[in-house]
């Protein structure tokens, strides 16, 4: 009995060591890719800021240069979902702004403005950039955060596409949704048409988001990752951060 337990513990130890070596190998590969990006000549993955616009760039973004070929399609879909969401939030805010002059509905415009200024950069930082960097580094840990935040995103775009009245105290007219489409068309034809366009973008984003999370999960599994591995990486990162903090405090 003791021999079987010892053999099991030894097997678990070997498995942990193998996984740790795999993580270290991926970290070395990531560092090598980052050095290659920094040292490359301009014009092809130079690392110069290029997003969202050349004349106003705050980040470097290049799926072609930084994402492994097997993941390019998946990350491109994630980026499509993000851009569609950003455009929908921008036009949603525009439609609610016009409604101020038609209905005097200032509160709905303010709510839609908050959705836009918080949701667009929030989606970039909380889930899109997370999955982008995770695929670039080929690490399991980042997927946990992505799945959590992206489920929140799916919930929000579904809510926005429906626009239920009084849901959690939200203004129904803050989003151009299905449940207020008829009233929008009856109140003003042009505004109703713009309302329908925004609603269609939100619905398309919700559908593509479901496809996207399934594709990301498939890529996550096809690379041999698992939830257990992601947890182990999370524990390792937490321990490393705690040790670094402890050393820093001691140094002070």
- Domain boundary assignment for the chain: 68-238
| Euclidean distance between CA atoms 112 and 192, whole angstroms | 17
Whether residue 224 has pLDDT greater than 60: yes
Q: Whole-prediction pTM value?
A: 0.76
Q: Give me the pLDDT at residue 4, please.
A: 58
- Measured in degrees and rounded to the nearest 5, phi and psi for residue 67 equal -100, 130
pLDDT digit string, tens, across residues 57-104: 999 999 999 999 999 999 999 999 999 999 999 999 999 999 898 888
Q: Please report the pLDDT score of residue 30 as a whole number.
A: 65
Strand 56-59 relative to strand 51-53, pairing: antiparallel
Q: State the pLDDT confidence band at 207, using cuts at 50, 70 and 90.
A: very high
């Amino acid at each position: 009995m003791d021999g079987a337990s010892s053999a099991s513990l030894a097997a678990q130890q070997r498995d942990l060591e193998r996984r740790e070596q795999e993580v270290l190998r991926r970290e070395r590969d990531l560092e090598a890719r980052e050095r290659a990006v920094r040292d490359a000549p301009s014009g092809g993955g130079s690392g110069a800021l290029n997003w969202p616009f050349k004349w106003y760039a705050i980040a470097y973004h290049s799926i072609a240069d930084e994402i492994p070929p097997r993941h390019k399609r998946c990350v491109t879909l994630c980026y499509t979902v993000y851009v569609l969401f950003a455009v929908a939030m921008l036009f949603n805010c525009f439609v609610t702004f016009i409604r101020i002059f038609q209905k005097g509905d200032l509160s709905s415009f303010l709510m839609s403005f908050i959705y836009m200024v918080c949701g667009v950069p929030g989606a970039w930082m909380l889930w899109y950039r997370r999955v982008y960097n995770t695929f670039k580094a080929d690490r399991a840990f980042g997927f946990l955060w992505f799945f959590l935040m992206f489920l929140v995103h799916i919930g929000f775009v579904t809510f926005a596409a429906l626009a239920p009245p009084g849901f959690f105290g939200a203004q129904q007219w803050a989003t151009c949704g299905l449940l207020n489409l008829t009233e929008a068309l009856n109140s003003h034809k042009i505004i109703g048409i713009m309302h329908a366009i925004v609603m269609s973008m939100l619905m398309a984003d919700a559908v593509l988001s479901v496809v996207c999370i399934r594709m990301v999960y498939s890529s996550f599994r096809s690379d041999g990752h698992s939830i257990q591995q992601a947890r182990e990486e999370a524990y390792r990162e937490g321990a490393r951060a705690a040790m670094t903090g402890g050393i820093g405090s001691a140094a002070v």
